[in-house]
Amino acid sequence: MSTAVKERQAGGGAPQIGGASIHPADRNFRWLVIAAGVTVLVIMAAIAVFLVVKSIPAITTNSTSMWATEQWAPDSDPPSWGIAVLIFGTLWTAVIAMIIAMPIGVGTALFISFYASPRLSTALGFVVDLLAAVPSIIFGLWGLYFFMPQIVPLSQWLATYFGWIPIFENSQDLYTKSILIAGLVLAIMVLPTVSAISREVFLQVPKGHVESSLALGATRWEMIRMAVLPFSRGGVVSAAMLGLGRALGETIAVALILSAVFEINWQITEPGGNSIAANIALKWGEAGINGRSALIATGLVLFAITLAVNMTARWIVDRRKEFSGAN
């Protein structure tokens, strides 16, 4: 009896039956699912091991500091390369992307969930989701040839009237291929992710909370502010983190748009820097053996960054776990 009770209280949320007779097929099935889970572990371990092993040659032969050097020459003699510019570019474009994508993505999700008629919301949701299927190289092309010419005037406006803020200053009088444009395109790419997950979360809000707040005389915005947002904070953060993960790892669109100047530049309207993923895409084909090893090292660092982001998201979400929707 006590065994059965213990098993019932144990994890997974599903009731268990402990004790005497376990069907042999049950045991086999259990091993099957455990094997599947372990496969995930094995794959992750293999990735970590291989990437570390393959990046060691470049790291150990680097003649300058890997963290501080603002240069990329791992195939020259002596090799000299540094990741500072890449980390900066990766984070800076991703931050800009998230600053734009979060309000618009959550706003769109709110619109679809609470403001639009059912048919409109289905149609809208479908269109936004469809964008997840557009390959990133198309985003890059569209961003470069259709979008960028429209954003250049905006950049000029920012530099002219807000140039006293350091990040909007533009000393080169060149407004194309900038971090701002790459960030905007990234924001558009990340939008479907943020919006779809936020929508899922808003769907989980108990109808009772929504309706009772309205019955008490709240305006629609007050209802959202008091009943929906506190409940969905964890989910929205999770959406943000997933979107951020995608923005950090986006390769081809950034490679096409950014000017790949290898220096740290805070001015977002000037022709811009480089991100880790874009750098790999740009340099891989022509790289020699040490060059490839250095690129793998940067890939590892990128992996570590996205890992940190995901762990933060999971930690935040776990604190809100009691709001899970089942039952």
Partner 1 sequence: MSLDTVVNNASGGGPGPSGRRPAGDEGKRGPSRLSARVLPPWAAAAAGSAGLGLGLASWASGITVIGLAPAVIAALSFFTIYTIWTLSVEGRRHAVDRLATALIYAAAVAALVPLVWILVTVLLRGLSVMSWSFLTETMRNVDPRKAGGGVFHAVIGTLEQVGIAALISVPIGVLTAIYLVEYGKGRLAKSINFFVDVMTGIPSIVAGMFIFTFWILTLGFPTSGFAGALALSILMIPVVVRSSEEMLRIVPNELREGALALGVPKYTVIARIVVPTAISGLLTGVMLAVARVTGETAPLLLTTFLAQDTNWNPFSDPQASLPTFIWDQISRGTEPALNRAWGGALVLITIVLIFYAGARLLAVRYAPKSR
Partner 2 sequence: MAACSSTTSSSSSSSAGASGAGASTGDITCVDGAIQASGSSAQANAITDWVNAYQTACPGSTIDYQPVGSGAGVQAFISKQVSFAGTDSAVKDADLAKAAAVCANGGAGINIPLVGGAIAVAYNLDGVDGLVLNSETVAGIFANTITKWNDPAIVATNPNATLPDATIAQFHRSDSSGTTDNFTSYLTATAPTTWTYGSGKDWMAPGGQGSKGSDQVIASVSQTPSSIGYVELSYVLDATGAKAAAIDNGGGAVEATSENAATTIAAATVTGTGDDLTLKIDYTTKEPGAYPIVLVTYEFTCQSGLAADKNPALVQAFLGYGASDAGQANLVSTGYVPITGDLMTKVRAAIASIQTA
Site for partner 2 in 122-151 (CB under 8 A): 144-145
Which is nearer to partner 1, 47 or 165 (by Cβ)?
A: 47
Supply 72's token pair.
């990329």
| Residue with Cβ nearer partner 2 (282 or 305) | 282
> Which of 112, 257, 260, 268 contacts partner 1 by CB under 8 A?
112
3-state SS, one letter per residue, for 158-227 = HHHHCCCCHHHCCCCCCCCCEHHHHHHHHHHHHHHHHHHHHHHHHHHCCHHHHHHHHHCCCCHHHHHHHH
- Per-residue contact string for residues 282-301; x = within reach of partner 1 by CB under 8 A: --x----------xx--xx-
Give min distance, CB of 61 to partner 2, in A. 13
Can residue 292 be called a binding residue for partner 2 (CB under 8 A)? yes
271 forms beta bridges with: 178
260 touching partner 2, by CB under 8 A: yes
Nearer to partner 2 by Cβ, of 152 and 214: the residue is 152
Closest approach, Cβ 99 to partner 1, in A, equals 13
Q: Is residue 94 near partner 1 by the rule CB under 8 A?
A: no
Residues 63-92 that bind partner 2 (CB under 8 A): 71-73, 75-76
**Subset of residues 25 to 84 that bind partner 1, contact rule: CB under 8 A:** 25-26, 28-30, 32-41, 43-44, 46-47, 50-51, 54
322 near partner 2, judged by CB under 8 A: no
Residue selected from 35, 45, 134, 289 as contacting partner 2 according to rule CB under 8 A: 289
- The DSSP string of 84-132 is HHHHHHHHHHHHHHHHHHHHHHHHHHHIIIIIS-HHHHHHHHHHHHHGG
Query: Are 302 and 308 within 8 A, CB to CB?
Result: no
Report d(CA 11, CA 14) in Å as an integer.
7
Ramachandran category for residue 76: left, alpha or beta (phi over 0 → left; psi -120 to 50 → alpha): beta
Choose among partner 1, partner 2, none what residue 128 binds, the Cβ cut-off being 5 to 8 Å by kind: partner 1
Q: How far is CA 243 from CA 4, 100, 224, 326, in A?
A: 42, 12, 22, 25
Residue 173 binds: one of partner 2, partner 1, none (C-beta under 5 to 8 A by kind) = partner 2
- Give the CA radius of gyration of the chain: 24
Least gap, CB of 12 to partner 1 (angstroms):
4
Site for partner 2 in 143-202 (CB under 8 A): 144-145, 172-174, 176-177
* Closest to 145 in 3D by CA, of 238, 256, 34, 67: 256
Phi, psi of 188 (to 5 degrees): -65, -35
Whose CA is closest to 190, among 242, 138, 257?
A: 242
If the CB atoms of residues 235 and 249 are measured against partner 2, the closer one turns out to be: 249
Residue linked to tokens 């100047």: 261
Which residue ranges make up the site for partner 2 (CB under 8 A)? 71-73, 75-76, 144-145, 172-174, 176-177, 255-256, 258-261, 263, 271, 274, 281-289, 291-292
